Amino acid sequence: MDDRDGLAAEYALGTLPLPDRLQAERLIASDPDFASLVARWQAHLAPLDAEYAPVDPPPDLLQRIETRLFPVATPVRRWRLPLFGALTAGLLAVAIVAFMPATRPQATLTATLTGENQPLTIAAAFYEDQGELSFVRASGPAAAEGQDYELWIIPAGQAAISLGVLREGEVRVPVADLPPGTTLAVTLETTGGSPTGVAQGPLLVAAVIGDS
């Protein structure tokens, strides 16, 4: 058994201390060969799963899970400036930027990303006309030193796509469409976000865009 296979075996067995487990989890996410080694050990040990006796969870647990995963996103009426269309766009753009910052178009959809027992909440707003999705930390602490909050968008039935990290202030990213069933999520990653493009840290908060 070489060191990599040993690490894979010990991860599957569960005996490693946390830093080594996190290292193994990063490897699983970034290295398919290592993930296969872990899967092989997992398959060998899985028959022991039969020894776990089922225990009924509390009756409200499903509802708590669904509330966390599928909070109802709040649709906001689209806001328009009927007059502006008739005016000269270039001149007007300057006027808005220079004198009327408060007239930024309102979001077509807002959602609050939350998690159970999680002080962090993230406010998301989708500006359909600009094709932009905005995130800002609404409550809770900043990420600790050496860590970052990483933003993810997960189109229904597809893999998560990183939208970068969220620090102080607002982050705006180009997003063309935000259909119902899309999940927005935030994980805790090392500074700069997951180096692999796949989330490696714990999921902190999430929201799924509802039908509206």
Site of interaction with another protein (CB under 8 A): 1, 6, 9-10, 13-18, 21-22, 25, 39, 41-58, 61-62, 64-66, 68-70, 116-117, 154, 156-160, 181, 183, 185, 202-203, 206
Indicate the residue among 9 and 175 with the shorter CB distance to another protein: 9
Structure tokens at 52: 């776990």
Indicate the residue among 127 and 153 with the shorter CB distance to another protein: 153
Minimum separation from the CB atom of position 105 to another protein (A): 29
* Cβ atoms 204, 187 nearer than 8 A: yes
C-alpha closest to that of 100 among 85, 78, 84, 82:
84
* Cβ atoms 133, 172 nearer than 8 A: yes
Minimum separation from the CB atom of position 135 to another protein (A): 17
Task: Classify 95 as helix, strand or coil.
Answer: helix
Q: How many residues does the chain have?
A: 212
Minimum separation from the CB atom of position 207 to another protein (A): 12
Indicate the residue among 171 and 208 with the shorter CB distance to another protein: 208
Residues ≥6 apart with Cβ < 8 Å to 100: none
Indicate the residue among 108 and 201 with the shorter CB distance to another protein: 201
